Structure 1
Amino acid sequence: MWIGLDCSAEITLARQWLEGVIEITSFPTIASALESVSVAMPAGRSKVGGDHGGATPPLSCPDVILLATDRPGRWTTDDALRLSLAWPLAPLFAVASSLADGRRRSGPPFPGVEEIAWHDLPGRLIRWFSDLDSGYPGSLGLPTTARREDRFLEAPLFSAADHPLRPAVTVVARRPLDLDGLADLLAAAGYPIFTRTLGRPGLEGLAGLVVWDAERIEGGDLEWLRMLAANSPGTAVVILESFPRGDTLTAALWAGAAAVLSRPVGLETLVGTLDRLARRP
């Protein structure tokens, strides 16, 4: 369930990435969403597609509730309480734009609701639903008070035997330490490392998936992306940037990147993003 309007370019991008991957039911306000409480849920899972505006859709308990948070203060503790009372079993998350960066790093704005960065949302949700389909709870099912170590240990991503057909990845970073750490992270999640490169990715001899820790996207990097996309049109490049913003991310996508994530990147976000790209036609 998606609640709120797409009031910023970043929130709009996050919503567009989810469409076609998972089915979304949209409501402009919490009041319109609460009108669906008394409607019986149809057979099967509750990810029902379609944008119903203010109308009442056939939905009782969503798999997850997402609050579009384009600015700090968009939602209150009372809003979260009303939704939790209506759907006590549905995890509740806020999709935060760049305006919430500083607050998110210092802690959640109100108890019981975890904020997910707008650029991390598709990867985390795809990974979480994949875990649910496999019978795992997934770390997004943990309470917001769970420590980082708890989420790390609960994420069922470290058994390569569970994912024997994951594609090889080319790993690129500007610093040797970052290169080794990123390669170890991907290898732990079951991705074979095809090549490792310092600096920028080569224009040929790449795997079908490339993860590039660029630290900060600059003008020269965009030109390099354009040349890489022209030379290897079937290669999906995922860029890690320290502080992704809507304008820089859009520029990177236009230049040929498949996705831009924040650094340091979370394992669920990275694996979910790579799994989505590996399945694309």
Structure 2
Amino acid sequence: MTTKRVLFVGDASHHEFQEPIAWLGEYCTLTIVESCDKATVELANDGRPPDVIVLAAARPGIFEQHQVVSLLRRAPLARIIGLMGGWCEGELRTGYPWRGVTRVYWHQFVPRLAEELACRHIRGRLAMPRTYTEWEANNVTVAVPEVRQRGMAVIRAATIETYEAIAEACQAIGHSTVWVNPRQPAFASGAAVAIWDVGLSIERDKAELAEFAKQVHPAPVIALIGFPRASDRRLAAEYGATCVVSKPYLLPELWTELTRVSLAESSAVDPQVSAA
């Protein structure tokens, strides 16, 4: 299958961009330049324009709207993705976000866009008109992954409402689910995947996360963290999480990670739940 051609514009050494760059390098034909001026030269010299341009901004103000417009003029069929660093989180409220750009934060890039970039044709969020709003992008109809028996998902959440929201997403693609309530601890064996919903802080939850990861081993653990920093992701990994999904998440993001990390369709051990 022909891979997409991607032009990455920005500081490729920035720590928040390492995971997106690694993914793009593995699954796409990737060219990296450090500035819009060099991107202009690359577009002028390359006979085949890129399918996607990634503008990577570690903080607001690195690229301006007129530079986005200039790139669009030189590659009118390319989709532009704004890969935003942690310092850009308040820009939608108090700054001047770029227009005509699909905007994702660094910790959302792989779960949110991997399937769209890996498929043969542009679809989903990337296929929407450049005039779309964030509300329209977040409400685009998405295809549900193949529904099949995927085994048990053990979900640790502080409230029944949170559990039900996560469980609904898991059940939609074929997982059975069980709730681990921190106020009424239980041990679940035979899990295919586990999900830990972090409350206010991974720092506060880290010891319990480590114990939870031991209980569900060898099932992978997905940690749900609100707008995680790089330090949060490192801490989650250190204490047993296989990967991190940022909250608030879109259903396809959670489905992507569930599909990627889940164990085989049926566990070698029959699922069991017992009170602590």
Letter in 2 for 1:239: A
Letter in 2 for 1:222: K
1:198 has 2:181 as partner? yes
The alpha carbon displacement at 1:139 in A equals 2.5
The 8 Å contact of residues 111 and 252 in structure 2, kept in 1 or not, is answered as yes
Letter in 2 for 1:266: L
| Deviation digits for residues 134-192 of structure 1 (CA, Å, limit 9, x no counterpart) | x672133213543556445533233xxx513473433332111111122223334x242
Q: 1:69 aligns with which of 49, 54, 57?
A: 57
1:11 has 2:17 as partner? yes
Structure 2 match to 1:186: 170
- Structure 1, 28-37 or 14-23: larger mean CA deviation: 14-23
The 8 Å contact of residues 196 and 209 in structure 2, kept in 1 or not, is answered as no
Task: For 1:145 and 1:11, locate their aligned partners in 2 and report how far apart those are by CA, in whole Å.
Answer: 26
The 8 Å contact of residues 66 and 95 in structure 1, kept in 2 or not, is answered as yes
Structure 2 match to 1:81: 69
Task: For 2:135 and 2:244, locate their aligned partners in 1 and report how far apart those are by CA, in whole Å.
Answer: 25
Structure 1 match to 2:107: 119
Aligned length: 256
The 8 Å contact of residues 71 and 96 in structure 1, kept in 2 or not, is answered as yes
The 8 Å contact of residues 18 and 122 in structure 1, kept in 2 or not, is answered as no
1:216 has 2:204 as partner? no
Q: 1:99 to 1:266 in 2, by over 3 A?
A: same
- Structure 1, 203-212 or 253-262: larger mean CA deviation: 203-212
The 5 Å alignment of 1:27-176 reads 27-39=33-45, 60-104=48-92, 109-129=97-117, 132-133=119-120, 137-147=123-133, 150-152=136-138, 154-158=140-144, 163-165=146-148, 167-168=150-151, 169-176=153-160
| Deviation digits for residues 197-255 of structure 1 (CA, Å, limit 9, x no counterpart) | 23399664252222222133333522233334445553221111223111111111222
Task: For 2:50 and 2:93, locate their aligned partners in 1 and report how far apart those are by CA, in whole Å.
Answer: 28
What's the secondary structure of 1:93's corresponding residue?
strand
Unpaired segments of 5 or more residues in structure 2?
A: 1-6, 265-276
Task: For 1:202 and 1:139, locate their aligned partners in 2 and report how far apart those are by CA, in whole Å.
Answer: 40
Structure 2 match to 1:53: none
Letter in 2 for 1:154: V
| Deviation digits for residues 41-81 of structure 1 (CA, Å, limit 9, x no counterpart) | 6xxxxxxxxxxxxxxxxxx2323211111000011112111
Letter in 2 for 1:164: V
The 8 Å contact of residues 7 and 70 in structure 1, kept in 2 or not, is answered as no
**Structure number having the greater strand percentage:** 2
The CA RMSD over aligned residues, in Å, is 3.1
Task: For 1:238 and 1:89, locate their aligned partners in 2 and report how far apart those are by CA, in whole Å.
Answer: 36
Task: For 2:170 and 2:69, locate their aligned partners in 1 and report how far apart those are by CA, in whole Å.
Answer: 38
Task: For 1:192 and 1:93, locate their aligned partners in 2 and report how far apart those are by CA, in whole Å.
Answer: 32
Highest Rg: 1 or 2?
A: 2
The 8 Å contact of residues 111 and 245 in structure 2, kept in 1 or not, is answered as no
- Structure 1, 146-155 or 1-10: larger mean CA deviation: 146-155
Letter in 2 for 1:198: N
The 8 Å contact of residues 102 and 126 in structure 2, kept in 1 or not, is answered as no
Structure 2 match to 1:274: 258
Identity of aligned residues (%): 23
| Deviation digits for residues 15-44 of structure 1 (CA, Å, limit 9, x no counterpart) | 345543545321222222333335566xxx
What's the secondary structure of 2:26's corresponding residue?
coil
